[in-house]
Amino acid sequence: MLMAEIEVLPLLHNVFSPQRLIESARTVYGLGYRVFIVTKASGSAAQVGVPEAQKLALKLGKSLIYLPDLPDAIEMLKPDHTILVVPKRFAKEPLTSFLKDAGGRILVVFGGSDPGLSRRELEMGLPVFVDGVEGGSGSSRADCDHPLSS
């Protein structure tokens, strides 16, 4: 059986904390992804976190894409699939189940702050939960690293 080619685009949405943004960038690049996307960064995350994440990307020969909002990322990046990593109570399908048949360009959206993603944002893609993650937000990008590692 031939596996479909997958291109994963990790995206951090609605982040306020510069530390969370920078740590997310380190994790994404450390896992081998070439591109990290950030949308709707606010306050010190926008003023401090985005420039620091950009500096890290340049040092590592990677890319950082910063866009105003999630719909902009979907419009500009044109993914084949948009999945939103959320707590189990907000999703019907586990991430591993989705990945079995997935192919193409996949935009993987993580909420950058609690409570995560809004109801309106959940309608922009397929909400999935990470198998084995109980309690907590489930939206942390680190919760999802293993199934998507490149």
pLDDT tens for each residue of 44-76 = 999 999 999 999 999 999 999 999 999 999 999
Name the residue ranges covered by the structural domains of the chain: 8-148
> CATH assignment of 8-148, given 3.40.630.10, 3.40.1280.10, 3.30.1330.10, 3.20.20.70?
3.40.1280.10
Q: Is the pLDDT of residue 115 over 90?
A: no
Whole-prediction pTM value? Answer: 0.86
Is residue 136 helix, strand or coil? coil
Q: How far apart are CA 144 and CA 50, in angstroms?
A: 22
* Distance in angstroms (rounded) separating the CA atoms of residues 95 and 49: 28
Adjacent-strand bridge partners of 37: 11, 65
Bridge partners of 65, per DSSP, are 37
